Chain A
């Protein structure tokens, strides 16, 4: 990849276009090894109560190389705008900067976002100086509204969180890409490497995933596969694919054929 093809987000440049979560790993060592193998430079974390009965337990951030990695706190598990705003403020106070994956969940079973609550929370948080990256449906109108509010990127889902179904509606993702002036990050629902490649081939700026690596039989191998798929998809996008045609076009010249 040429050095000039960097992922730009909120004034910072990243070589990797893969953003990975830190949930569901066996232990912190595996979390770290998977992040390293994925090449990700941005990783998501959740905000939760310290376990008061056993506060001495090790902490995730002690295991991450914070000189190399940008922490992206999320508001996972929040079902109202108020809860998400509260969680965001706590995350910033904990001292990892103003980046925020805004997630306001609308329903337990699908974990689809609550659009109105997401917009409401985004308005408040952008005003408070957060760099808001909202998790949204693959809906171009919602993407546009959030961009207008001042979100630093939009993060349409590929499919429900943790479902591994891959990009359900590549056409909507394309429409979002055509109209978006902020980075488009496919977030959630990725199942395997080809899903990441597809997102990159569509022209997405980055892909965010967690379960597809953490839940794989061999997470470290899958992390590497995701890194390669991300790079391959990006290169294919930059290279420009050939158009799809219904009929064959010979690759070998007709000239010089034997009589």
Chain B
């Protein structure tokens, strides 16, 4: 199925959880925040939250800034 991930259309496994997605991307050890369809997903819900076709997912982190 396809989801929008950080503005790009991406193929992911049917029923993939946010935790699995984050691990697949190698981001599980990192300070990140995740939004699904504009709602922030608390970290303790990554494991149970399954993505659905067409979900809009944003994953952000901290970068250099002033």
* A residues adjacent to B (C-beta < 8 A): 21-25, 31, 44-50, 52-53, 55-56, 59-61, 71, 73-74, 76, 86, 89-91, 93-96, 161-162, 188, 208-211
- A50 touching B64, Cβ below 8 Å: no
CA distance A61 to B10 in the complex (A): 27
Chain B positions within 8 Å of A, measured between CB atoms, are 5-8, 10, 25-27, 30-35, 38, 40, 42-43, 58-66
Q: Is the pair B31, A95 in contact by a Cβ cutoff of 8 Å?
A: yes
A29 to chain B minimum Cβ distance, whole angstroms, is 12
Instruction: Pick the residue among B8, B30, B66 that contacts A59 (CB under 8 A).
Output: B30
Compute how far the CA of A159 lies from the CA of B48 in the bound complex, rounded to whole angstroms: 48
Choose from B10, B33, B40, B63 the contact partner of A46 (Cβ within 8 Å).
B63
Interface SS, B side:
strand
Q: A73 CA to B43 CA in the complex, in Å?
A: 19
Task: Taking A46-B63, A50-B25, A60-B62 as given, write out 18 further A-B residue pairs in contact, using a Cβ cutoff of 8 Å, ordered by the A residue number.
Answer: A21-B65, A22-B65, A25-B64, A45-B64, A46-B64, A46-B66, A47-B33, A47-B61, A47-B62, A47-B63, A50-B32, A52-B6, A52-B10, A52-B25, A74-B66, A94-B60, A94-B61, A94-B62
B14 to A: closest C-beta gap in Å? 20
- Distance from A27 Cβ to chain B, minimum over Cβ atoms (Å): 10
Contacts of A50 in B (CB 8 A): 6, 25, 27, 32, 59-61
Closest Cβ–Cβ distance, residue B26 to chain A (whole Å): 5
A22 in contact with B59 (CB, 8 Å): no
Assess whether A74 is in contact with B65, with CB atoms less than 8 Å apart. Answer: yes
With both beta carbons as reference points, the residue of chain A lying nearest to B31 in the complex is identified as A94
Decide if A56 touches B66 in the complex (CB within 8 Å): no
A49 touches B30 (CB 8 A): no
Complex CA distance for A81 and B37, rounded to whole angstroms:
19
Question: Residues of B contacting A31 with CB < 8 Å?
Answer: 64
Contact A96 B60 (CB under 8 A): no
Q: CA–CA, A118 to B10, complex, Å?
A: 35
In the bound complex, residues from chain A placing their C-beta under 8 Å from that of B31 are: 59, 61, 94-96
Determine which of A22, A53, A94 lies in contact with B33 in the assembled complex, contact meaning CB atoms within 8 Å: A94
Which of these, B8, B26, B35, B64, contacts A22 with CB under 8 Å?
B64
B40 A44 Cβ-Cβ under 8 A: no
Chain A residues with CB under 8 Å of B61's CB are: 47-48, 50, 59, 61, 94
Q: Which of B6, B26, B40 contacts A89 (CB 8 A)?
A: B40
Q: How far is the CB of A52 from chain B (nearest CB, A)?
A: 5
CB distance from A70 to the nearest CB of B (A): 13
Query: Which of A59, A86, A161, A210 is the most central at the interface, judged by chain B CB atoms within 10 Å of its CB?
Result: A59
Give the distance in Å from the alpha carbon of A22 to the alpha carbon of B7 in the complex. 25
Q: Give Cα distance in the complex from A53 to B9, angstroms.
A: 12
Bound Cα distance from A96 to B38, whole angstroms: 21
Question: Which B residues are CB-close (under 8 A) to A162?
Answer: 66
